[in-house]
Structure 1
């Protein structure tokens, strides 16, 4: 019996070590990219397995010792990855003139969800300046129409799939447009937003494809990079928001942040998972509000359950002088080259026939 338990623990240790390091491989293969999601879950499981291995050191000291060293290395790898998102007391802005504030709320509504009342109540209660809804269709277009009374400026694209997108705004939108950053199947929103101060900032709303079984993440990554390049070439301070179907520690998100000089309010604040609202173990942050230097975070919160598999997420920002904000991550050599290559490859692939796939 003890031998059987030892074998099971050893196998689990090997698997956890492998999935902890496999995301370091630079690839668009879906199973590798999915392994980047449950870093916290891997860390907890490794701590348990590491403790279990200690009971078998005397039985097989060399093999168990080698496995234990591997487990310690995997624990270190996951802990290092998650370290920037520990709750360490983020330096948020406590005061901000009303005309310099901008609040952004995002919600993946879940295409088949028909529980609209709680979501509408949250939007009315929170009073965000911008509300980005994703996985919307014609039914959701009608269901969200009451928001036009307080958020009269809007832009939407109904796709008939999981990638419909709606933007509602209290503030005037300047030259709003729908962009096909990587594929016409996953539209993005790009618009200027006029603050109460009269200044106009840029806003990009995204909902790229998730890593799905037997599908490449090329389209997702290309859309993230394309949005970052738009921001990089723009003259106005910018905010990017949406269900990015990527965790904040993924390589693609890191490259996106470096290219667009984007800061993540989660850093130093906490993990703040927004998916899945219906699972206790599938818990990771997929919904984001990122901003360029020139904004500082006042607050961020995950809101309540409303029937979707995602929780709504709201971030309140203050327009500040760039010197007051955190320094964005520096560009790495090869970032632009890899981003442009991914975008070009995604555009080529988007012209080939594709079947409809699930959202996320």
Structure 2
């Protein structure tokens, strides 16, 4: 085989191995954290590369004696990470029975619209088709607020935060809201929403809407503030006396260390586990997609339906979740459990994020 091809294959193998294990380093720099995202892509590429090595019988030669075990380790590690989001895994959230009471159900549609997208009608059509109880839109400015009115006029409750910095947020509800607060947990220009929504059966549910900054050079050089906001919300809802839903664009994947820490801290469940990836980003590139938009909830709920909705010309697909309030069966579902290091790690994550945000303000 041509030397250039051999070098190329070995280079690819080395990159895949590094990409797998670099995120284990205790650093929050964007060029480290970015490798949390493409776990499924790395798995496929590592499997293909390993197959080539085996077909060519390279396990007998020099550096290949290191690269092949490295690729095997990469495959195993990536498989462990993505396994829960395949149909091979047991579900974390039980399926609601067909006769679940309608007055205990809540449908929520989450859509990061991409602020510069002008195809308002595509989202309007989806809202009118699915008629959710709760609509959460992200990256919505005043233009989007006006553009969606043909659909949002049917929502009597509204929380509008129109911003032109791509962190605008709008929450629309057909159900009553109370004690609604717009909050800026760590950064002045990045809002979140906390409110309580009343189901048709009279039960009040604590709802959080979030959209922290991503760890990319154009936004944040590291993931400290993102991680801190996610974990801060998780810590807050753990002490809630109400059923809880946390929804939004976390700018983090479901299997990352930070989102896993969020689940351990909050005890919230992920309805995707055992059902699929529900990749919402990037809608424009089929081979580069991962789950960034989330709907987590307490064990008071079971799942009626979860669906990734059609493309609306955004870089995100909208996602729809329909939950059923089922408190009498809540203990059938096992909450993510903290380990002995969870509280300390959560406190450190929050403190580092606050310090980072303070330095940016100064």
TM-score (norm: length of structure 2): 0.93
Q: CA deviation at 1:353?
A: 4.2
Q: Structure 1 unaligned runs (5+)?
A: 356-360
Aligned with 2:323: secondary structure? strand
Aligned with 1:16: secondary structure? helix
Q: Could you tell me how far apart the structure 2 residues matched to 1:59 and 1:123 are? A: 55
Q: 1:263 aligns to what? A: 269
Residues 302-313 of structure 1 mapped to structure 2, 5 A cutoff: 302-313=308-319
Deviates more, 1:169-178 or 1:138-147: 138-147
Q: 1:331 aligns to what? A: 338
Answering whether residue 119 of structure 2 is matched by residue 118 of structure 1, we say: no
Q: Could you tell me how far apart the structure 1 residues matched to 2:354 and 2:59 are? A: 56
Answering whether residue 141 of structure 2 is matched by residue 134 of structure 1, we say: no
Aligned 8 A contact 2:253 2:290 in 1: yes
Q: 1:8 aligns to what? A: 8
Q: CA deviation at 1:269?
A: 0.1
Q: CA deviation at 1:352?
A: 3.6
Aligned 8 A contact 2:310 2:318 in 1: yes
Q: Could you tell me how far apart the structure 1 residues matched to 2:141 and 2:234 are? A: 27
Q: 1:194 aligns to what? A: 198
Q: 2:357 aligns to what? A: 350
Q: 1:34 aligns to what? A: 34
Deviates more, 1:338-347 or 1:222-231: 338-347
Q: Could you tell me how far apart the structure 2 residues matched to 1:26 and 1:19 are? A: 14
Q: CA deviation at 1:354?
A: 6.5
Aligned 8 A contact 1:57 1:64 in 2: no
Answering whether residue 226 of structure 2 is matched by residue 220 of structure 1, we say: yes
Aligned with 2:294: secondary structure? strand
Q: Supply the RMSD in Å over aligned alpha carbons.
A: 1.8
Q: Choose the corresponding residue for 1:144, options 148, 152, 155.
A: 148
Aligned 8 A contact 1:147 1:168 in 2: no
Aligned with 2:171: secondary structure? strand
Residues 1-360 of structure 1 mapped to structure 2, 5 A cutoff: 2-57=2-57, 60-88=60-88, 90=91, 91-95=94-98, 96-213=100-217, 215-321=221-327, 322-353=329-360
How many residues align? The count is: 355
* CA distance 1:66–1:344, change in 2 (3 Å): closer
Aligned with 1:28: secondary structure? coil
Q: CA deviation at 1:121?
A: 0.9
Q: What does the per-residue CA deviation read over 1:218-237, in whole Å, with 9 as the maximum and x for residues that have no partner?
A: 11111101111221121101
Deviates more, 1:312-321 or 1:334-343: 334-343
* CA distance 1:270–1:192, change in 2 (3 Å): same
Q: What does the per-residue CA deviation read over 1:18-67, in whole Å, with 9 as the maximum and x for residues that have no partner?
A: 11111122321111111010001001101111011124435953432321
Q: CA deviation at 1:2?
A: 2.3
